[in-house]
Amino acid sequence: MVPSKPPKPELISYNKTVAEILNIDLKWIESDEGIECFTGSKILKSSNPLSMVYAGHQFGNWVPRLGDGRAVLLGEVMDLQNERWDIQLKGSGVTPFSRNGDGKAALGPILREYLLSHGMYNLGIPTTLALTIATTGENIRRESLLPGAIISRVAKSHIRVGTFQYFASQGKYELVKKLSDYVIHRHFPKIISNKHKYFIFFKSVIKKQALLIAKWMSVGFIHGVMNTDNCSIIGDTIDYGPCAFIDIFSKDTVFSSIDTFGRYSYKNQPLIGQWNLVQLANCLLPLFSENKEKSIQMAQEEIDRFPKIYEEYWFHEMKKKLGLQLIMKQDIELIKELHSIMESDQLDFTITFSSLIFICQNKKNSLLEFNNSSKKFNNWILKWKSRLAKEKKSKMEIYKNLEICNPYIIPRNHLVEEAINFANKNDFSKFLKLFNLLSHPYSFNEENHTYYIPPDKIDKNFKTFCGT
């Protein structure tokens, strides 16, 4: 599988943090060979490009054959910690799985993935990463003619639940076993010698998915297209298509233009995570036990535990955001009451939490005005402060804990769209500014006030599209 050669590739940006992780020389990335490599113009001798096949449930509907429709895996590299990473090009042309598409990508969706994955990484959320973005020197037709672009995506794995489904759906369980062995060897080496390794592997995936979704929920992130083919087997956020962040909090929020019935709404993400794990369990059943009924029972018991596992992770994430470490009975009600107030009084998700540090310190700040009109929130603050007083921590420790758990800046929809609109006119200043701020989401600077707040008028009809 050889990627298409773009007519006039131009490097737009590269992520120094990702380059350092992979121990790739920055000067080489900027060199002619580096640019050619990360745009598909040149295949290095050690590279054996391929596109991966998988199946999946898309919005609950079974599709027996999917795959990388616009992506080519160049190969693997080892980082300084001896960990293995995949490097993949997206937008690099037709593959065997393009399904009558052109395999190309417009600049907008490429910038979205670059910004969102960078933001998620700096928020401490498991994610794929992006190393480079480049324009291709050609226009591609979508709703209109748009600049073409290519992103080089970096991941510890591109294997999905849908990868297992592809082989299991054909009854090729020897290949399911082989795939499981590969994933265990690469990502779960501590269980290789365990006689129940396949079942332990499944339990490990459950925990990773529960933790990932809990972290999404804690920052108001909506993936938007949680199909099984977009569900990473190692619990990383993958495939930044119609994803977005909530401004005004509502549990029913949906941004994806194709999610007509809200299947992947904010509130449904834990439920869908569990549903996806059921599909994985169906693939792995023959590996759990020779007795089919026993395998089903084993799987069902673990699936039934998912809500509790998720709740524990979510509770832990939310307690951190409120500066709470001691375990007290009233904490869960305190958290749920806050979410209820946020929704009923239409409070901004991110500002509600980022303002707590200033409220705790009794400091005036421009962020506070967004919640000042909410009497319910102000009454809740009194309960929260009373609960904080019971923590066996100094005020400075509490302030620090609040500050490192509540970001001031996220990739807000209007900021990302603004960056894309300017970039489509060959002006990358907005994009670079936002990228740099997302590198330090927990740092506050009054000069960047406009990046911390929602737009003056929120477009309730705003939709995102599955462009990458």
Give, as one character, the DSSP assignment of residue 6. Answer: P
Catalytic annotation present for 247: no
Domain boundary among the residues 128, 155, 182 is at 155
Distance of CA 288 to the CA centre of its chain: 30
What's the rounded Cα separation, in Å, for the pair 429 and 299? 51
Q: What is the mean pLDDT of residues 129-153?
A: 93
Q: What is the mean pLDDT of residues 146-158?
A: 96
Q: How many CB atoms lie within 10 A of CB 413?
A: 22
Domain boundary among the residues 133, 155, 177 is at 155
Catalytic option among 229, 239, 259, 348: 229
Q: What is the mean pLDDT of residues 362-383?
A: 91
pLDDT at position 392 over 90 = no
Structure tokens at 93: 């042309």
**What pLDDT digit, counting tens, does each position of 411-456 carry?**
999 999 999 999 999 999 999 999 999 999 999 999 999 999 999 8
**What pLDDT digit, counting tens, does each position of 217-274 carry?**
999 999 999 999 999 999 999 999 899 999 999 999 999 999 999 999 999 999 999 9
What is the reported pLDDT for 464?
Answer: 86
Residue 80 lies in a domain: yes
Q: Residues with Cβ < 8 Å from 415, sequence gap 6 or more? A: 430, 434, 451
What is the reported pLDDT for 80?
Answer: 87
Residue 122 lies in a domain: yes
Dmax over CA atoms of the chain, in Å, equals: 65
Residue 441 lies in a domain: no
Residue 290 lies in a domain: no
What is the reported pLDDT for 459?
Answer: 78
Structure tokens at 35: 């640019």
Residue 453 lies in a domain: no
What is the reported pLDDT for 141?
Answer: 87
Residue 77 lies in a domain: yes
Residue 389 lies in a domain: yes
For Cα atoms 113, 117, 121, give the angle at the middle one, nearest 5 degrees. Answer: 175
Which of 15-19, 327-331, 373-377 ranks highest by mean pLDDT?
15-19
User: What total number of domains does the chain contain?
Assistant: 2
Domain boundary among the residues 374, 403, 432 is at 403
Residue 33 lies in a domain: yes
What's the rounded Cα separation, in Å, for the pair 285 and 86? 28
Q: What is the mean pLDDT of residues 338-362?
A: 96
What is the reported pLDDT for 467?
Answer: 65
Domain region containing 362: 324-403
- pLDDT band of residue 143 (cuts 50, 70, 90) is confident
pLDDT at position 468 over 60 = no
